[in-house]
Structure 1
């Protein structure tokens, strides 16, 4: 999907708190698109709050028509995009409720998410109820390091 392309797609599956599958296109010529929500990183499924994050994304988007604005493609071939469901920016909603982090490494252009994250931390929402939450990128790195030993 070209960057900046805007599609209206039916969300048919939720992988985790920051990844969904959408069916885009005309009837009889659908294309399944795997979408990674831009600017955020949600806890992994096996990580604390991973299931809650996935459920929150499902509540917002599953079987809804999403507005998907493509930004780029990641190394796994997923479309990285801004996603809106029910008129709400999904990345902002997940960060504001404490169910995703601002993905520091890919936050350029998404600086508006930081105040939402600061508010979630201050109010101890979602994963911020944990006194020492582990970012998904650190959690994945720890898992890779353990697997090598």
Structure 2
């Protein structure tokens, strides 16, 4: 039994170690992507979790890249890896000492909270703070979230052309626990700044008051329903 216990401990330790990376940042590709050089000259592309920075062709795209570079370029960092994306990049929280660089990008107004994947309430609070004082990208009158910019750049899909008013196939289910608290306290269309935000609050947070006619399109004034 003692040997089994030791084996289990070693297995858990190895698993925990596999969930983090440490190394020096050798390149900054944009406001949410870096390249890490770790032991053995292994390079790893890292996507900062829970945030989405402006694309390079967007306003503040280059400013966001410079801000991230000021934080991490040439420095030793630790990455708490949460996932691997479809491009093979490690997705995680980048830390310098005890500082969460992902969070600082949001706080500085250099990135949005990536609502589709975010779960930490602190990120939403940081974005609200940056928005309130019109910091960084929030100094613009109508900043476009990068996920909307990418969608417009790709153009409408075949299905969007075929049925642009399609209804969701499932009834939105409210979140609970930490994920629910990440939704914030917004409950009306007047508080929404983009269609994407309104859709997030409807589909992920279960705020049905945003879709009073029940057609699956929240805040018609924003989403053109």
SS at match of 1:32: strand
Alignment-derived partner of residue 7 in structure 1: 21
Alignment-derived partner of residue 34 in structure 2: 20
| Residues 92/114 of structure 1: CA separation in 2 closer, same or farther (3 Å cut) | same
Q: Structure 2: 5+ residue runs without aligned partners?
A: 1-14, 159-225
Where has structure 1 moved over 6 Å in runs of 4 or more? 1-4
Q: How many residues align?
A: 144
Q: Structure 1: 5+ residue runs without aligned partners?
A: none
Alignment-derived partner of residue 135 in structure 2: 125
1:78 to 89, 92, 106: 89
SS at match of 1:92: helix
After superposition, residues 109-148 of structure 1 pair within 5 angstroms as 110-145=120-155
Higher helix share: 2
Larger radius of gyration: 2
TM-score, normalised relative to structure 1:
0.90
Shift of residue 8, structure 1, vs aligned partner? 1.7
TM-score, normalised relative to structure 2:
0.60
Q: What do the CA deviations read for 1:18-57 (whole angstroms, capped 9, x no partner)? A: 00000012xxx22100000000000011100000000000
Q: What do the CA deviations read for 1:88-132 (whole angstroms, capped 9, x no partner)? A: 211110100100000000012x22200100000000000000110
1:39 to 46, 50, 53: 50
- Where relative contact order (Cα < 8 A, 6+ residues apart) is larger, the structure is 1
